[in-house]
Amino acid sequence: MKYSGWPTPGELVVGRVDEIEDFGVFVDLEEYENKRGLVHVSEVASGWIKNVRDHVSEDQTVVCKVIEVDEDAQQVDLSIKDVNDHQRSDKIQEWKNEQKADKWMEIAFGEDIVDDDFRRIANELIDAHGSLYDGFEQAAILGPEALEKTDLSDEEIDAIVDTARENVSVPYVTVTGYVDLEAAGGEGVETVREALEAAEGNGEVPDEVDLEVAYVGAPEYRIRVQAPNYKTAESQLEESAARAREAIEAGDGTGDFHRERRTDEE
């Protein structure tokens, strides 16, 4: 999505080198509609510049810092030399993410979505999460809950969540814990099995969480949880262990949760 307004001084913008002159470089701003900026030769690179073309080439993608904006004169003054490598890398990644989000909007609502609807929906996501990309990412992680404070319709929320979960690769964290499960008597094996089923969640684990229970060595079992963030992962780990303990104790067995291994895995 391209912005219809103007950039602000100090902002980092992505541009494409459109024209190179001895006095500087004209840059089309990729994030703004019909906006063009000028990088004066003194702002292309540090030190004396013999030939501007030694530093930039036509159609090159560059990251610039906005120095000054004169809306009346339709002029944007830019600097390339004032952007360091770290800022350049981060800005390019942010720009690429927003391009992905634009495509996800088309997937969710069709390539023929009218501009007004595109902007209305995009602005709701931006207002809620800071950027279009972050809006889709949170929708992939949290589902409809991520969009419940927006003014989007239920159908629009469903379309965003479905598209996000099909297309967004979300970061995950993994936490691990262990439970010792013991039950004596003739029903002991069945009691342990029921405790393990309880640990796995009995179908109640949230969609964004991957929970796995595996045998380590009697009586120890490993619980491994993958989730979008540590808070959720830790909560699901503790709940899994609690379910296992409750089930084993209901069968007159014992359960003990601990974070470190006590037996060697095979």
Please, where in the chain does CATH 2.40.50.140 lie? 12-83
Q: Convert the pLDDT of each residue in 106-138 to its tens digit.
A: 999 999 999 899 999 999 999 999 999 999 998
The two three-digit tokens of residue 149, written as one number: 């404070």
> Exposed/middle/buried for 205, CB within 10 Å: 0-12, 13-18, 19+?
middle
Please, where in the chain does CATH 1.10.150 lie? 86-167
Please, where in the chain does CATH 3.30.70.1130 lie? 173-258
- Report cis status (omega within 30 of 0) of the bond before 219: yes
Residue 200: predicted pLDDT: 93
CATH fold of 12-83: OB fold (Dihydrolipoamide Acetyltransferase, E2P) (2.40.50)
pLDDT confidence bin for 172, thresholds 50/70/90: confident
Residue 160: predicted pLDDT: 96
Bigger pLDDT: 3 or 166?
Answer: 166
Q: Convert the pLDDT of each residue in 136-160 to its tens digit.
A: 998 988 889 899 999 999 999 999 9
- R_g (Cα) of the chain, nearest Å: 27
CATH fold of 173-258: Alpha-Beta Plaits (3.30.70)
**Sign, Cα dihedral of 228, 232, 236, 238:** positive
DSSP string, 143-164: GGGGGTTS---HHHHHHHHHHH
The one-letter amino acid at 73: A
**What three-state secondary structure class fits 195?**
helix
Residue 265: predicted pLDDT: 45
Q: Convert the pLDDT of each residue in 52-96 to its tens digit.
A: 999 999 999 999 999 999 999 999 999 999 999 999 999 999 999
Q: Convert the pLDDT of each residue in 157-167 to its tens digit.
A: 999 999 998 89
The two three-digit tokens of residue 22, written as one number: 């001895």
**CA gap 261, 27 in Å, rounded:** 59
Residue 110: predicted pLDDT: 94
**What three-state secondary structure class fits 115?**
helix
Does 266 have pLDDT greater than 60? Answer: no
Residue 251: predicted pLDDT: 87
The one-letter amino acid at 209: V
For the segment 173-190, the average pLDDT, to the nearest whole number, is 88
Bigger pLDDT: 260 or 181?
Answer: 181
Does 46 have pLDDT greater than 70? Answer: yes
> Does CATH number 3.40.50 belong to domain 86-167?
no
Q: How many CA atoms lie within 13 A of 101 on its CB side?
A: 27
End-to-end CA distance of the chain: 53
**CA gap 67, 46 in Å, rounded:** 16
Q: Report percent pLDDT > 90 for the chain.
A: 76
User: Hey, how many other C-beta atoms are within 10 angstroms of the C-beta on 164?
Assistant: 25
Residue 162: predicted pLDDT: 93
pLDDT confidence bin for 264, thresholds 50/70/90: low
For the segment 237-254, the average pLDDT, to the nearest whole number, is 93
Residue 69: predicted pLDDT: 97
Mean pLDDT of the chain: 92
Q: b or e along 210-244 (b: 16 or more beta carbons within 10 Å of the residue's beta carbon)? A: ebebeebeebbbbbbbbbbeeebbebbbebbbebb
The single residue listed with the structure tokens 């104790």 is 249
Residue 3: predicted pLDDT: 81
Beta strand segments in the chain, E: 12-21, 24-29, 36-40, 61-70, 75-79, 173-182, 210-217, 220-227, 254-258
